């Protein structure tokens, strides 16, 4: 008799992702010319006070920001945890990327 080793197939916990990336869902407008001296107001999507992605947006009503916010609201509606999703102005202390 031969000893056959069996490997267990483990199903990892899956994080829900979009079938279509947000960038493909919404047309991307041309970025305006920017110089390092200019301070531009940027906006980020947060969930429960924490930033959900490394993307930032030039306007609060940006279609890509709204698409990302709608995605996270859909996640919360399926797995409610009491958090709130918002588009807020970027704060370099609260919303930094590590």
Q: Mind listing the pLDDT tens digit for each residue in 37-51?
A: 667 789 999 999 999
| Residues 23, 64 contacting (CB under 8 angstroms) | yes
Rounded CA separation 63/8 (Å): 44
Domain count, the chain: 1
Asked if residue 75 is part of any domain, the answer here is yes
Using a cut of 0.75, tell me whether the model's pTM lies above it.
no
Asked if residue 57 is part of any domain, the answer here is yes
Q: What pLDDT does residue 78 have?
A: 94
| Residues 75, 82 contacting (CB under 8 angstroms) | no
Q: Is the pLDDT of residue 1 over 60?
A: no
Asked if residue 6 is part of any domain, the answer here is no
Cβ neighbors of 16 (< 8 A, separation 6 or more) are 75, 78
Asked if residue 61 is part of any domain, the answer here is yes
Asked if residue 81 is part of any domain, the answer here is yes
Instruction: Name the more confident of 81 and 20.
Output: 81
Asked if residue 64 is part of any domain, the answer here is yes
For residue 68, the enclosing domain spans: 42-93
Asked if residue 37 is part of any domain, the answer here is no
Asked if residue 48 is part of any domain, the answer here is yes
Q: What is the mean pLDDT of residues 49-56?
A: 92
**pLDDT, tens only, 62-74:** 999 999 999 999 9
For the chain, the average pLDDT equals 82
Half-sphere exposure of 50 (CA within 13 A, CB side): 5
């Amino acid at each position: 008799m031969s000893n056959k080793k069996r490997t267990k197939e483990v199903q990892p916990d899956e994080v829900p992702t979009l079938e279509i990336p947000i960038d493909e869902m919404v047309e991307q407008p041309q970025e305006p010319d920017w110089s390092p001296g200019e301070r531009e107001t940027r906006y980020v999507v947060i969930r429960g006070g924490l930033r959900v992605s490394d993307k930032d947006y030039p306007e609060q009503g940006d279609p890509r920001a709204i698409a990302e916010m709608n995605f996270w609201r859909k996640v919360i509606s399926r797995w409610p945890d009491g958090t709130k999703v918002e588009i807020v102005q970027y704060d370099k202390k609260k919303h930094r990327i590590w």
